[in-house]
Amino acid sequence: MTAESAGKGNVELFELPAELAIDTSVAQRVIEGFIRGQLRQAGFERAVLALSGGIDSALVAYLVASAIGPERLLCVLMPYRTSSPDSRTDAETVVEALGCASEVIDITPMVDGYFGPDSDASALRRGNFAARMRMSVIYDRSVTWGGLVVGTGNKTEGLIGYTTIFGDNASAFNPIGDLYKSQVRQMAVAMGVPISIIRKAPSADLWPGQTDEREGGFSYPMLDRLLFWRIDKRRSIEEMEALGFDRATVERVDRMVATSEFKRQVPPIAKLGPRTSGIDYLYPRRRPGSARG
């Protein structure tokens, strides 16, 4: 299946594996109710998110704007000196289309101020540090704007651990964390996210010309299908091979999922007392009395 049957127009925007096709109107209904519910239960009316110019944060911006109105959304653009100018342009297109508030905060002085001018720090360290500077800024803007931080990570990157812990994976709630990249694309088409954003190759934009698929050595449709059958549908390695997946690729993805388990969970607490958070003190996050003011 291609996006032709799922989206608008006759342009083949991306490859959509048939088993990953969702009813976007149901998904939109659930997600927008989720966004309103999370804010209401926490005592907030506004939201803030980091808008990169990529499809994930663009889709979340569209969903939040549709759920609570664009006037309650602040998008923060946080470029670094090596960030692609196209990312900035695409983010500005989203802000303009939605009519929401926006701010641009250059994180270059923060990142370069820490590493110094002649640092030989690896791209990984720089990338993680930049992600955590963006997290610091967005949480500060959460206070000045009076809104909750909305997460923008998708299910695919969450499962393989292609995220920075306490960086881009930090949020008050995440509306698209259970959508694979292919499903994010399907939703983006349905929500009217600009075609240029849907078409371009996904990138963490940590250095010029970087793309997720080149760096990881996979294509998103293949990876999404692999994760769907392996995790959602509980297929064994042998069954994956029968479905046509390459055994070595399945094993490699299995390792990525296992080694990133820690990024998806709250850090463990050494059990000592009678009742311990997350172990035998188990309350809903939102309960009577938990909302702000």
Partner 1 sequence: MERVRIALAQLAPALGALEDNLERHRVALGEARDGGANLIVFPELGLTGYLLQDLAAEVAMRLDDPRLGALVAETRGVSAVISFVEESADHRLFIAAALVEDGSIRHVHRKLFLPTYGLFDERRFFAAGDLLRAVPSDLGAGIGLGICEDFWHMAVPQLLALDGAQILINVSSSPGRDLASTNEVGLGTATSWRTMMRTYAQLTTSFVVFCNRVGLDESITFWGGSEVIGPSGEALFSAPLYDEGVFMVDVSLGDVRRERIALPLLRDERPELHVRELQRIIDERAGLSMRDTTAEEGAEPGLDVMPLATPIER
Binding mask 250-289 for partner 1 (x = CB under 8 A): -------------------------------xxxxxxxx-
Query: Does residue number 8 form part of the binding site for partner 1 (CB under 8 A)?
Result: no
Residue from the set 21, 104, 256, 257 that interacts with partner 1 by CB under 8 A: 21
Whose Cβ is closer to partner 1: residue 262's or residue 281's?
A: 281
Look at residue 77 and give its three-state secondary structure.
strand
> What is the rounded distance in angstroms from the CA atom of residue 261 to the CA atom of residue 267?
11
> What is the rounded distance in angstroms from the CA atom of residue 236 to the CA atom of residue 245?
11
∠ CA(35), CA(8), CA(87), 5° rounding?
A: 65
How many residues interact with partner 1 (rule CB under 8 A)?
23
> What is the rounded distance in angstroms from the CA atom of residue 164 to the CA atom of residue 133?
11
Whose Cβ is closer to partner 1: residue 32's or residue 103's?
A: 32
Shortest Å distance, C-beta 72 to partner 1: 18
Site for partner 1 in 109-138 (CB under 8 A): none
Residue type, 158: G
Whose Cβ is closer to partner 1: residue 10's or residue 25's?
A: 25
Provide the β-strand partners of residue 2. Answer: 15
Shortest Å distance, C-beta 124 to partner 1: 31
Contact 87, 230 (CB under 8 A): no
> What is the rounded distance in angstroms from the CA atom of residue 157 to the CA atom of residue 191?
21
DSSP 148: E
Look at residue 83 and give its three-state secondary structure.
coil
Binding mask 36-75 for partner 1 (x = CB under 8 A): -xx--x----------------------------------
Structural element, H or E, at residue 38 = helix 24-42
Site for partner 1 in 81-110 (CB under 8 A): none
Whose Cβ is closer to partner 1: residue 173's or residue 245's?
A: 173
Q: Which residues of this chain interact with partner 1, rule CB under 8 A?
A: 6, 19, 21-23, 25-27, 29-30, 33-34, 37-38, 41, 281-288
